[in-house]
Structure 1
Amino acid sequence: MTDLLERFITLWVVIDPIGTIPVFIAVTAAMTAPQRRSTALLATLVSIGVLLFFLVGGQILIEALGISLLSFQVAGGIVLFLFALTMIFGEPKSESDMHAADADAGRAEQPSPAIFPLAVPSLASPGAMLAIVLLTDNTTQPVLDQALTAAVMVVVLAVAYIFMLLADPIIRLIGNSGAAIISRVMGMILASVAANAVLSAVVEIAMTGSL
């Protein structure tokens, strides 16, 4: 149960369902209620597909490139730590994602808002892609544990879907400032998880004497 809770917290932090609410409200403001529901569902399904791809094939790709998982764990931990710093010190996730969408506003063809910025990079963020690979190490995690991680990931994304459906009352309750505060608290938790990943990999390298 402790291990499952740790996975849930890690995935909750990197996926950040609460931080997605302002993004969802911004990109669906002109939509009807049925359109908002279909957009939320599509964004959730796309993000599940992207993260499942990294869960199944991420480590295979790493091994094909000749990179050890411990090296990837150190690099991934560092990237997750830097990602956590952007959550703590940078502009809120909603603002950065909406600015990225505004930068593409002049293009003739734009992807559906369910795909960008909702699915990627809001839900299936780079941090989430790295975290899912680290949590499903084929050398230490049996298939059952990897399936449990996938289930936890789907649960977190299902919660994100529910939050998007309830976006209007939630944002009225906590406000943009409340969402920003929660995002920064999640950043602190993620920084701790990232530091633990790096330290555990370094300790294992030191004990085994090899990568």
Structure 2
Amino acid sequence: MQTNVKDILTVSFTLFAIIDIIGSIPILISIKNKMGGIKEIRATLISGGLMILFLFLGEPFLNLLSLDVGSFAVGGSIVIFILGLEMVLGAEFFKSEKDVRAATVVPIAFPLIAGSGTLTTIISLKANYTQTTVLLGILLNLIVVFVVLKSLKFIERILGPGGMIAVRKFFGVVLLAIAVKIFATNAHGLIK
């Protein structure tokens, strides 16, 4: 299999849809306000590191722990569901310790950016495309992630308080739906 532009674009757009950094803007702004900031470069590098690590070692690592991709996806879907509930209900389930470094890893780098959906998609893409193609798709998405993280203040200013509430509630419901879909797709094989 050769690396070509069409394949790179296909992989990039697939990952872009799964990462859904645009849809995560309301929760990222909420986390940023709660924590007093986000370390954008750190969040981008950690999530990128997780994706690249999973590209090369994902399946063997899960097998070592006697886990399958479905179990991993179900666990991630529960975290995504709780984040969606937080957005819709305005409740705080993830208690903030006012530590920007901790928030950079959980929940920003994982599961928002490099979540179970993203990591399982990387494994799936690897079955159809070269590692180089998937790696380039990951790197292109990391550039978009960094730009969005750097632009949160600007985006918040454009939307205003009322717009932020509306967008947060809407995308909270979208997150809940994504979590339910990931759970439903992967849970059936776990219950025996």
Q: Identify the TM-score tier after normalising by the shorter chain.
A: 0.5 to 0.7
Q: Describe how 1:171-190 pairs up with structure 2 within 5 A.
A: 171-174=156-159, 175=161, 176-190=164-178
Rate the CA distance shift 1:158–1:187 in 2: closer, same or farther, 3 A.
same
Alpha-carbon distance in structure 2 between the residues aligned to 1:66 and 1:122: 26
Rate the CA distance shift 1:133–1:26 in 2: closer, same or farther, 3 A.
closer
Aligned residue among 148, 151, 158 for 1:163: 148
Alpha-carbon distance in structure 1 between the residues aligned to 2:52 and 2:178: 21
Match of 2:20 in 1: 12
Q: Which amino acid aligns with 1:171?
A: E
Aligned residue among 80, 83, 87 for 2:79: 83
Q: Which amino acid aligns with 1:191?
A: A
Alpha-carbon distance in structure 1 between the residues aligned to 2:150 and 2:113: 24
Q: Describe how 1:60-209 pairs up with structure 2 within 5 A.
A: 60-67=60-67, 72-91=68-87, 96=92, 99-102=95-98, 113=100, 115-125=101-111, 128-137=114-123, 141-142=127-128, 144=130, 146-174=131-159, 175=161, 176-191=164-179, 193-195=181-183, 197-198=185-186, 202=189
Q: Which amino acid aligns with 2:70?
A: V
Residue 122 of structure 2 aligns to a residue whose secondary structure is coil
Q: TM-score, normalised by structure 1?
A: 0.61
- Cα distance, 1:154 vs. partner? 3.6
Q: Which amino acid aligns with 2:77?
A: F
Greater Rg over alpha carbons, structure? 1
Please, which runs of 5 or more residues in structure 1 have no aligned partner? Answer: 30-35, 103-109, 206-211
Rate the CA distance shift 1:152–1:55 in 2: closer, same or farther, 3 A.
same
Q: Which amino acid aligns with 2:19?
A: L
Percent sequence identity over aligned pairs: 12
Alpha-carbon distance in structure 1 between the residues aligned to 2:151 and 2:113: 25
Match of 2:4 in 1: none
Residue 95 of structure 2 aligns to a residue whose secondary structure is helix
Residue 184 of structure 1 aligns to a residue whose secondary structure is helix
Alpha-carbon distance in structure 2 between the residues aligned to 1:186 and 1:153: 23
CA RMSD of aligned residues (A): 4.0
- Cα distance, 1:10 vs. partner? 1.7
- Cα distance, 1:125 vs. partner? 1.9
